[in-house]
Amino acid sequence: MRIADLPPELRPRERLLAKGAAALTDAELIAILLRTGAGGISAIELGQSLIDRFGSLQRLLAATEPELAVIRGLGIAKRAELLAITEIQRRALTALLVEGPVLDSPQRVTMFLRHRFNGLLNESFVGLFTDVQYRLLAIEDFGSGALQRVAIYPREIIRTALRHNAAAVVFAHNHPSGRAEPSDLDKALTKKLQEAMRCVEVSLLDHLIVTPEEIWSFRANGLC
C-alpha cells in the first residue's frame, strides 16, 4: 500500500508533526527522507528493507555511496538524501564539540565518537587535538583496520600535534565486536603514545574505546 493511501493519522509525516519524531519507527523516519517507494513497495517498506539489509539504522546511515549504489530502488536522489543526512549529523556534532572545552563536554564527546564510529566493521583510530584550554583544534584519523594490523606511528602523531600546535590530545578507537575492555595491545599502545606525547610536552588526556553501547576510558580506570 502506498503511503498516500493510508489514513492521514498513519502517514509518517503527519504522525511526526502531530506526535514528534520520537513516535516514529526507524523505517518511518527513513521513509520521510526517501519520500517514495520503489519496485512496487512503499517508502516505509523500502526503509525497512534498507535497515534489514545493513543490519541496523546506524549501519545504514554509515553506508558509503558505493554500498548504496548497488541497491535496487535507490536512485541518485535517494542516495544523495541518505548521504546528506549523515554528513549533516557529522557537522552538527563536530560544531557542538567545538563549542566548549573537550573535558567539560563529555556528553558531546560521546555523541561525536558514537557517530564517528557508527556502523564501522573495522577498528579505526583517531586523535582529538586541543589547545591549552582544551578547546578542540582538529580531529585526525590515523588508521583503519584491526589494530594489530594497523601501524600507529608515534612520530606521525607527534608531527600532527606539532602542526596543530596542540597542548593535549584525546585518542579514541572503536571495538566493532562490542567488547569495550582494552586488550593488552591497547594498553601497550596507550603507554607508548603517552611516552611519545610527553617528549613534546603534549598531555595525553585520555584514550577512549568506543562500542555502540559503551565508552571505556583509560583515564577513568587509572591507566592514563
Question: Could you tell me which of 103, 95, 89, 172 has the C-alpha nearest to residue 131?
Answer: 103
* C-alpha dist (Å) from residue 156 to 11, 33, 178, 191: 52, 41, 28, 16
Residues 120 and 51 in one domain: no
Residues 84 and 108 in one domain: no
Residues 105 and 207 in one domain: yes
Whether residue 95 is contained in a domain is answered as no
Residues 61 and 108 in one domain: no
Residues 75 and 143 in one domain: no
Residues 77 and 138 in one domain: no
Residues 122 and 80 in one domain: no
Give the span between the Cα atoms of 188 and 96, in whole angstroms: 32
Residues 58 and 105 in one domain: no
Residues 22 and 54 in one domain: yes
Residues 116 and 60 in one domain: no
82-135 pLDDT, tens digit each: 999 888 887 877 776 667 676 666 677 777 888 788 767 788 899 999 999 888
> What CATH number did the domain enclosing 197 receive?
3.40.140.10
Residues 86 and 104 in one domain: no
Asked if 198 contacts 165 with a C-beta cutoff of 8 angstroms, the reply is no
Whether residue 136 is contained in a domain is answered as yes
The structural domain count of the chain equals 2
Whether residue 160 is contained in a domain is answered as yes
Domain membership of residue 22 as a residue range? 3-90
Q: What angle do CA 198, 199, 201 make, to 5 degrees?
A: 60
Asked if 215 contacts 110 with a C-beta cutoff of 8 angstroms, the reply is yes
Whether residue 137 is contained in a domain is answered as yes
Whether residue 190 is contained in a domain is answered as yes
pLDDT recorded at residue 222:
87
Whether residue 222 is contained in a domain is answered as no
What pTM did the predictor assign? Answer: 0.67
Domain endpoint, select from 90, 125, 157: 90
Residues 174 and 75 in one domain: no
Q: What is the pLDDT along the chain (224 residues), one digit of tens a residue?
A: 567 667 767 788 888 888 898 898 999 999 998 888 887 888 889 999 999 998 888 788 878 889 899 998 889 999 999 999 888 887 877 776 667 676 666 677 777 888 788 767 788 899 999 999 888 898 898 876 654 555 678 889 999 999 999 999 999 998 887 788 888 988 998 999 999 999 999 999 999 998 877 889 998 898 87
Whether residue 202 is contained in a domain is answered as yes
Whether residue 223 is contained in a domain is answered as no
